[in-house]
A = this chain, B = another copy of it.
């Protein structure tokens, strides 16, 4: 894809997706710590990835766990996403309340209360789910019965990431067959969260499974893959029908380290204030682990200040960030504001009730983080 050919929508069209709360004053007058999200960078990231998916004829199903914003999900859909991906029922409910009807929930739904919530969602929206064991499938059948609808179930495959998922193509086939024996359930395809930069391994697992399914006479309508770090790779895409990616919308230091994006494509930073300068080489800022998380990703330090020669936050307490200025060309003073480029943006957005949208140095307004804290 040649980025210069990307057609970007107008600011007016983009802004209609958000309910901006008025913020007094300029950037320099904001209270810190607070996340800043540059909407122009967001739009470029969204349009570029959508064009990539369109070019490869892969459905784009962005993960809303990164932004947790109804407006952003609707913008992603308006730009061409087929539907959204959610990780928890609480996220699905927030997005359903906002009228978003095509959702994939990529987390096993377990327990009576959660299955009842799933059944309620099934009556409202088109939601498909995943399973990687008979125990999970049995529960899903209860939800389907409760709802009176048919539930589409993708079999989650562990293609090397060592997280959830059936371990072999034969196990995937067996579970798919079991799903189709259950009233109210329909096997709908395969889902994997793959290890990055190992596309050949994934492709082999998926291809082998599809062969077994075909021999057994089972349709495999969807193959859903995902992951941010190697999202631009074209390798091993032949069997993939949809792709889930979350971080691409904002990006972060770990995305830059993986080579997927540049710092210019990082839309989100946390604005922080220097509150102490105890020594020549140390500054303490007002963003600690309750603003940045302790996510190492893993990388050295908990974030960097790009404007200070990538000065690292070498330690965090809950409310204190320890900044190493030894390689910084300038030494900020108490009261100076800095922007932290975080290691990992996704958990940061789960810490704040509101984020501030900007376009360059202009503040657009504050936006409520709709699905903050929806971990159930």
Bound: A334/B156 CA distance, A: 15
CB within 8 A of A335: which of B87, B135, B158?
B135
- How many copies of the chain does the oligomer comprise? 2
| Residues of chain A from 275 to 290 with CB closer than 8 A to chain B in the complex | 275-279, 282, 284, 286-287, 289-290
Q: A88-B319, A135-B335, A318-B346 are in contact. Are A375 and B291 (CB under 8 A)?
A: yes
Which of A136, A158, A286 is the most central at the interface, judged by chain B CB atoms within 10 Å of its CB?
A286
The closest CB in chain B to the CB of A333 belongs to B135
Whether the pair A163, B317 counts as a contact (CB closer than 8 A) is yes
Asked if A53 is at the interface of the complex by the 8 Å CB criterion, the answer is: no
Asked if A251 is at the interface of the complex by the 8 Å CB criterion, the answer is: no
Name the B residues within 8 Å of A353 (CB-CB): 373
The closest CB in chain B to the CB of A111 belongs to B273
Name the B residues within 8 Å of A167 (CB-CB): 278-279
Whether the pair B87, A347 counts as a contact (CB closer than 8 A) is no
The closest CB in chain B to the CB of A292 belongs to B375
A contacts with B: majority SS = loop
| Mask of A291-320 contacts with B, CB within 8 angstroms, 1/0 | 101111000000000000000000001111
CB within 8 A of A32: which of B111, B136, B291, B351?
B111
Asked if A202 is at the interface of the complex by the 8 Å CB criterion, the answer is: no
Q: Please report A residues at the B interface, Cβ cutoff 8 Å.
A: 29, 31-34, 65, 87-88, 107-108, 110-114, 132-133, 135-136, 139, 158, 162-167, 273-279, 282, 284, 286-287, 289-291, 293-296, 317-320, 322, 333-335, 346-347, 350-353, 373, 375-376
